[in-house]
């Protein structure tokens, strides 16, 4: 049993209360010192480092507003839409809570996308922070699941048909697809059973996983220390320290960065409030106009598209046609040709067998036959059973791969330096084009299909994956600037 610490009888009432609490719960004080008051962060954080704390703020907003919404929401296919209308019209301040939650969903993805981009340009995924990045990507994936399941709950036209389309994509998976889609829906169509399943996952299961991953992300970050715009370690074995062992290039997170982050919080809340009070639908991007119409299983909307934060991946899904699959097959064969030149002898046939099998499954043979106006012979017809895997499956695979590839980023980047500050200047253009490409894909995902949009989406998909898959090559090119031994900092 720990000894109680005495305090002066002349101490204030607040100090006496704090001493009483710490004597009975010393672990809390130790963890507060380790993670807040005595956690040393680099002193050159810039505005990019606002978005981590803003993501935590939005998470709290979503949990609190979600609790109040659940008090009046009815997870029943016959009552769900009416219960949302009841919240909006009859519950005191219900409209504000609902708009805070719907705007918060989009705000969550805005700050998370910007937070991930900060990690991308400053190399925050590099050693020793690989696990921090992996936890962050897992948070992103869980957040997508949470948003998708919550999107069905208003039971509007776009919610209903969007869920119908997305769940049907799982049926494209060979062998297990139809059964998997049936398991997710709980019925042969999106129905009351689907609504109840999504409600339980959205309110209980997924938030618990999300909170656990957030805690793991923060604990892993504080164990290895925060990165900074220079990419210089402030707690490494050779980092300068004072007589007490504190890093000279670091400052306590509290009070310096707690006050510093208040600037970002203030600006964010101003923008957040402006959207809530003046444009909660954001022109149909945050809340689609079709979602103000009750779900009708007998009437399909003219154009079905997911919410804006899913549209880049939806655009990649639609980009995979049979022709695009054949192009990907040729890329796989070309990659096999160049990679096997450096492999050991016994690995070459293995790679080639896998590459040819993938090319056949991607539909290379029938597509080439169609292009060359050649009839399929007996051998090709025998192999054509592999082409039963249609383009939709490869679209689903590409859509999922666009997220999964982020997990491997720490091992794809071969640059000798972390931060973009000390990389060749043309790297900034590469990252800039990547952002523009991502935004264009997001926009195309909101639009009805068109021949021009399809071609642009295909080029954008190739660039997206090329950015990551070719990173081991292009990230080493060019002349790198010397990295300083200590972080650069100008007081402001």
What are the phi and psi torsion angles at 484 (to 5°)?
Answer: -65, 155
Q: How far apart are CA 134 and CA 407, in angstroms?
A: 6
Residue 264's pLDDT is: 94
- DSSP sequence for 198-214: HHHIIIIIHHHHHHHHH
Q: How far apart are CA 363 and CA 330, in angstroms?
A: 11
**Lowest-confidence segment of 74-78, 98-102, 151-155, 243-247 by average pLDDT:** 243-247
Q: Is position 115 annotated in a ligand binding site?
A: yes
Give 390-436 pLDDT, tens digit per residue: 667 888 888 998 999 999 999 989 999 999 999 999 999 999 999 99
- DSSP sequence for 76-108: -TTTHHHHHHHHHHTSTTHHHHHHHHHHHHHHH
b/e map of 141-163 (b: 16 or more CB within 10 Å)? bbbbebbbbbbbbbbbbbbbbbb
Check the CA dihedral 400-401-402-407 and report its sign: positive
Q: Is the model's pLDDT at 464 over the cut of 60? A: yes
Residue 388's pLDDT is: 47
Residue 383's pLDDT is: 46
Better-scored residue on pLDDT, 121 or 487: 121
pTM for the model stands at 0.89
Q: Is position 101 annotated in a ligand binding site?
A: yes
For residue 472, the Cα-to-chain-centroid distance in whole angstroms is 22
The residues, ordered by sequence, that sit 6+ positions from 56 with a Cβ below 8 Å of its Cβ are: 214
Mean pLDDT of 357-375: 55
Residue 344's pLDDT is: 56
Using pLDDT thresholds of 50, 70 and 90, give the confidence band for residue 354.
low
**Lowest-confidence segment of 91-95, 163-167, 242-246 by average pLDDT:** 242-246
Mean pLDDT of 98-107: 96
- For 113-150, what is the HEC assignment? HHHHHHHHHHCCCCCCCHHHHHHHHHHHHHHHHHHHHH
For residue 143, the Cα-to-chain-centroid distance in whole angstroms is 7
Q: How far apart are CA 198 and CA 146, in angstroms?
A: 9
Q: Is the model's pLDDT at 347 over the cut of 70? A: no
31-287+297-304 maps to which CATH number? 1.20.810.10
Q: Is position 260 annotated in a ligand binding site?
A: no
Mean pLDDT of 183-212: 94
Nearest to 99 by CA among 286, 233, 232: 286
**Lowest-confidence segment of 114-118, 180-184, 319-323, 374-378 by average pLDDT:** 374-378
Better-scored residue on pLDDT, 363 or 169: 169
Using pLDDT thresholds of 50, 70 and 90, give the confidence band for residue 237.
confident
Residue 403's pLDDT is: 94
For residue 203, the Cα-to-chain-centroid distance in whole angstroms is 20
User: Residue 250 belongs to what H/E stretch?
Assistant: strand 250-252
Mean pLDDT of 222-244: 85
Residue 102's pLDDT is: 95
Asked whether the bond before 65 is cis by omega within 30 degrees of 0, the reply is no
Q: How far apart are CA 267 and CA 353, in angstroms?
A: 56
Give 120-162 pLDDT, tens digit per residue: 999 999 999 999 999 999 999 999 999 999 999 999 999 999 9
Which part of the chain has CATH 1.20.810.10?
31-287+297-304
Residue 379's pLDDT is: 45
Give 305-314 pLDDT, tens digit per residue: 889 999 999 9
The residues, ordered by sequence, that sit 6+ positions from 483 with a Cβ below 8 Å of its Cβ are: 230, 231, 232, 417, 419, 422
Mean pLDDT of the chain: 86
Better-scored residue on pLDDT, 87 or 284: 87
Residue 381's pLDDT is: 47
Cα–Cα separations (whole angstroms), residue 45 to 40, 358, 482, 489: 12, 46, 20, 9
Give 8-49 pLDDT, tens digit per residue: 788 888 888 888 888 888 887 778 777 777 888 898 899 999
Residue 485's pLDDT is: 85
What are the phi and psi torsion angles at 322 (to 5°)?
Answer: -65, -35
Q: How many helices (H) and strands (E) does the chain have?
A: 21, 2
Mean pLDDT of 303-326: 86
For residue 265, the Cα-to-chain-centroid distance in whole angstroms is 21
């Amino acid at each position: 049993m720990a000894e109680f610490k005495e305090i002066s009888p002349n101490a204030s009432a607040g100090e006496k209360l704090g001493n009483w609490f710490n004597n009975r719960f010393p672990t809390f004080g130790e963890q507060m010192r380790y993670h807040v008051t005595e956690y040393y962060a680099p002193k050159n954080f810039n505005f990019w480092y606002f978005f981590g704390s803003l993501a935590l703020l939005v998470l709290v907003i979503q949990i609190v507003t979600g609790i109040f919404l659940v008090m009046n929401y009815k997870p029943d296919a016959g009552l769900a839409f009416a219960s949302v209308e009841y919240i909006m019209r009859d519950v005191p301040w219900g409209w504000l809570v609902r708009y805070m939650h719907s705007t918060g969903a989009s705000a969550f993805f805005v700050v998370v996308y910007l937070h991930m981009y900060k990690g991308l340009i400053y190399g925050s995924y590099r050693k020793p922070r690989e696990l921090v990045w992996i936890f962050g990507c897992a948070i992103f994936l869980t957040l997508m699941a949470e948003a998708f399941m919550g999107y069905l709950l208003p039971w509007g036209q776009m919610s209903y048909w969007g869920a119908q389309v997305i769940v049907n994509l799982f049926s494209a998976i060979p062998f297990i697809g139809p059964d998997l889609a049936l398991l997710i829906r709980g019925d042969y169509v999106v129905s009351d059973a689907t609504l109840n399943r999504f409600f339980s996952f959205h309110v209980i299961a997924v938030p618990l996983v999300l909170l656990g991953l957030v805690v793991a992300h923060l604990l892993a970050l504080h164990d290895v220390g925060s990165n900074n715009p220079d990419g210089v370690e402030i707690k490494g074995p050779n980092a300068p320290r004072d007589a007490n062992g504190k890093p000279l290039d670091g400052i306590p997170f509290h009070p310096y960065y707690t006050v510093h982050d208040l600037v970002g919080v203030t600006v964010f809340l101003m923008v957040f409030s402006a959207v809530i009070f003046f444009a909660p639908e954001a022109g149909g991007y945050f809340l689609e106009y079709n979602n103000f119409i009750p779900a009708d299983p007998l009437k399909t909307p003219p154009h079905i598209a997911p919410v804006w934060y899913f549209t880049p991946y939806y655009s990649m899904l639609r980009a995979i046609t049979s022709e695009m699959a054949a192009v990907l097959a040729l890329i796989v064969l070309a990659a096999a040709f160049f990679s096997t030149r450096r492999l050991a002898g016994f690995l070459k046939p293995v790679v080639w067998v896998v590459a040819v099998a993938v090319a056949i499954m991607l539909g290379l043979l029938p597509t080439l036959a169609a292009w060359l106006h050649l009839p399929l012979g007996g051998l090709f017809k025998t192999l054509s059973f592999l082409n039963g895997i249609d383009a939709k499956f490869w679209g689903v695979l590409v859509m999922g791969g666009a997220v999964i590839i982020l997990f491997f980023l720490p091992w794809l980047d071969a640059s000798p330096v972390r931060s973009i500050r000390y990389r060749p200047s043309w790297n900034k253009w590469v990252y800039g084009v990547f952002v523009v490409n991502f935004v264009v894909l997001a926009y195309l995902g909101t639009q009805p299909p068109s021949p021009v949009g399809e071609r642009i989406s295909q080029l954008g998909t190739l660039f997206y994956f090329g950015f990551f898959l070719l990173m081991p090559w292009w990230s080493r090119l060019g002349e790198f600037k010397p990295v300083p031994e200590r972080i650069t900092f100008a007081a402001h």
